[in-house]
Chains A and B, each alone.
Chain A
Amino acid sequence: MSSSTLMKTFAKTDIVDTLIIGSGAGGAPLAAELARNGKTVVVLEAGPAFPATGHTPDEIAARELYWLHERLSAGTNPQAFGGNNSGTGLGGSLLHYGAFMPRMDARDFHLHTETGKGVDWPFGLDELLPYIERVESFIGVSGPAHYPWDPERRYAYAPPPANSAALKMREGCDALGLRHADGPAALITRDIEQPHFGTRHACANCGACHQGCRNGAKSGTDNTWLPMAVAYGAELRPGCFAHTIERDSSGRVTGVVYRQNGVEHRQKCATLVLAAGAVETPRLLLTNGLANSSGQVGQNYMTHVSTQVWGEFDEDIRPNRGYPSLTITEDMMRPKDADFVGGYLVQSLGMMPATWGQNLARSTTTRGPAFARALAGYNRSAGMGINGECLPRPENRVTLSDEKDAFGIPKPLIEHSYGPNEWAMHHHAARLMTQMWETVGAKDIRVIDRAAHMIGTCRMGADAGSNVVNPVGRSFDIDNLWVSDHSIFPSAAAANPALAIMALSLRTAEAMLRT
């Protein structure tokens, strides 16, 4: 971040107005908004500050962007973490996210009212839309001139060029009579001067979004909200792992103890915001025994059904080239023949070779020359994947395991099993995408059953008995404790989450400014 050299710093004895744990999608917009309104803000981030120019497309080395404190994964669909969904560093998981930026469907806010299943949000799309539009315009999102499922919508940047997978998916949609479009992507397609940051260059179609964008084209928090926060006087502290939340005799938060370079520090604060993500936020609350009068901390853990279907073509596809996931169809948001509630988005997929190979390796048991030939098919492969609703289930949750990590804190145990709704959606999507690939001549079609993202665990809602935070993200139990990250989602909703997390973060900041 170019402006960090000018960054203001606070003494640990200062009582800062707001201390934020986590600098990703949930923490950063709020940091910027509070600082802009004159609040003193410190952000503790466990990961380092990565210079964008140092990112590497090498998938093994790029693991430096993953949250590497070990998690234990259980249940009948144990989830992969690391590269699948957990980042670290100034910028959080957005350093290596895919930048797919659809808006939440209005119906997904009211799933329970619509279907009797799942949970309603305490408000609708109309409430969140102004914040969504502010996020889109500030960070930079590209999209088509005409979005078939929302004709009113406008994007400030033209889409990047369609890669082979995106073109193939268009053909598949056409063959089956599905509408398709260039999907909204959080990247810019012309050079700009980003306020408080500096020059961001147009997307170079390098394809390595998941390994970190080297030219600032991808809109994360590292090149948008965080430099803005710093410009308004916030202090960002990378390399600081927060572990203990301190309180006074009345139970209000007074500060946080964190470890930096092996040394313990304490930062005092008037208000604390947890933005550590949907595994680390409940882990912090559980290890500190806080804010859990509802018994819901760590419960309602959800993911997105993220089934993929890959095929091999006769052409030279080169799936590493171009923005990875451009084509979208929203026609499956409420399919007529659905045997499940909710819906899913279908997106085209390019992919880097090791990630692609991992999927192949883990979803088959071929070996010998057949395995070698399958891996050699990389350059001829194109994929499609979905992002779909996942219902909360009592057996899916984050708890503390018996094992301790290097800091002496229990490692989190994440239990995740699909229920009938998720399996029905998976099978529906697998059939549809297989048919699409078959129609356009793909061979060796392979279905990969996988889930992505970490959602829920500190649910927001109106009722203190069944939710952890109120509808603006404030703890029911401790009035100077707030949560702003993916953990507050009452339901998963189909859309890729970062846009809604950032929009909610701005909304929570406004609520904090009012109190």
Chain B
Amino acid sequence: MSHPPDRPEILDSDHLSTRTREILTSRLSVSTAQPRTLSLRAYAALDALLPVLLPLDEILPPATDIAMTARIDAALSGPRDGWRFADLPPDAEAWESALLTLDDVAAEQHGLAFIHLAPDLRGALLDAVMEGQIGLEREGRLTASQMKRWSGDLRGEVVDCIMSDPRIQQALGISSSLTGGDTVFQGFTKVGSDSREDFEPKATAPLLQMAESSE
């Protein structure tokens, strides 16, 4: 199923080129029907991992789902960024192995699949991964040092997904997509502090409301 797009206002700005509008709009409706890259088990683990890594409830309106898991899974089969750590396998394989490692470790430590762990236990496992304390020395799984490396890739991928989402840009008041339209390339007239131009979004994220009201 795909979720009804909540159309952010920035998409209707004339400071957006047609191409950029199309790119951003495409992120509003992502098919979540079937994993494209990961196995169902790895996909489910990722889906359970993302909310403990980066919860979005203080940024987006309630019940907004930006389909992060599906988008990351799809991105893993798309063009990558041209390099990888030599001590990790190719990206799609590294992600599959990392997520299965996490799931196996959850089962060994807690007798439950990762997806069935309470959020604080999932968080604790993620912390241990980031500290290089969790890994498995067997085929198709990652060692502790590989898991630590991968956790950097995981964090980076999540950020790419978030910061390039028009709903997040709108909520955080980010005007980076609004560099100029097709016929008029407006750029920015004001570039100093505390000088938001009228066409730039104001932050709406609940966690930024306090800050904005003092503007």
Contacts and interface: CB of A to CB of B under 8 A. Distances in A.
Interface string B146-162: 00000110011011101
Contacts of B191: 161-164, 205, 207, 318, 321-322
Interface stretch (A66-74, A219-227, A455-463, A468-476): A66-74
Interface in A41-85: 53-54, 56-61, 63-64, 66-74, 78-83
A351 to B, nearest CB: 9
Contacts of B174: 320, 353, 378-379
Nearest to A354: B163
A46 B152 CA distance: 30
Contacts of B169: 353
Given A86-B82, A372-B54, A361 B158 contact: yes
Interface in A366-408: 367-369, 371-373, 375-376, 378-380, 401
Contact of B193 (A82, A167, A373): A167
Interface of B: 17, 19-20, 23-24, 52-56, 58-59, 79-87, 90, 123, 126-127, 130-131, 151-152, 155-156, 158-160, 162-164, 169, 172-177, 179-180, 182, 185-196, 200, 203, 205, 207-208, 211, 215
Interface string A290-325: 000000000000000000000001011110111000
Contacts of A356: 163
A354 to B, nearest CB: 4
B180 A362 contact: no
A376 B175 contact: no
Given A83-B81, A361-B155, A365-B130, 16 more contacts: A68-B82, A70-B80, A70-B90, A72-B83, A73-B84, A81-B82, A82-B83, A354-B160, A365-B127, A367-B123, A367-B130, A368-B54, A372-B54, A372-B55, A376-B59, A376-B172
Nearest to A322: B191
Contacts of A168: 193
Given A57-B177, A162-B191, A379-B174, A204 B186 contact: yes
5 contacts: A56-B19, A72-B85, A81-B81, A321-B191, A365-B127
B17 A56 contact: yes
A215 interface: yes
A60 B172 contact: no
Given A318-B175, A368-B123, A353 B59 contact: no
Given A369-B58, A372-B58, A58 B23 contact: yes
Given A56-B19, A372-B55, A379-B203, A321 B175 contact: yes
Contacts of A81: 81-83
Contacts of A231: none
Contact of B163 (A86, A164, A353): A353
A38 to B, nearest CB: 38
Contact of A63 (B59, B79, B123, B158): B79
Contacts of B164: 58-60, 353-354
Contact of A61 (B23, B58, B203): B23
A69 B126 contact: no
Contacts of A64: 79
**Considering the complex of A and B, which 4 residue pairs feature the smallest CB-CB distances, nearest first?**
A204-B187, A322-B191, A82-B81, A81-B83
B190 to A, nearest CB: 7
Main secondary structure of the interface of B (DSSP, over half): loop
B85 to A, nearest CB: 6
A206 B187 contact: yes
Contact of B200 (A67, A318, A369): A318
Contacts, number: 209
A322 B131 CA distance: 38
B82 A58 contact: no
A214 interface: yes
Given A353-B163, A361-B159, A369-B58, A78 B82 contact: no
Nearest to A415: B86
A316 B55 contact: no
A413 B84 CA distance: 10
A457 B16 CA distance: 42
B155 A205 contact: no
A16 B173 CA distance: 54
A367 B83 contact: no
Given A71-B83, A167-B193, A379-B173, A204 B188 contact: yes
A60 B54 contact: no
Could you say which of B82, B84, B164, B169 has the most chain A C-beta atoms within 10 Å of its C-beta? B82
A276 B131 CA distance: 38
Contacts of A79: 83
Given A164-B193, A368-B123, A369-B55, A401 B86 contact: yes
A317 B172 CA distance: 13
A373 B82 contact: no
Nearest to A412: B83
B159 A354 contact: yes
A184 B81 CA distance: 29
A318 B196 CA distance: 8
A373 B207 contact: yes
Given A63-B79, A376-B172, A162 B192 contact: yes
A396 B89 CA distance: 22
Contacts of B79: 63-64, 68
Nearest to A401: B86
Could you say which of B59, B152, B187 has the most chain A C-beta atoms within 10 Å of its C-beta? B187
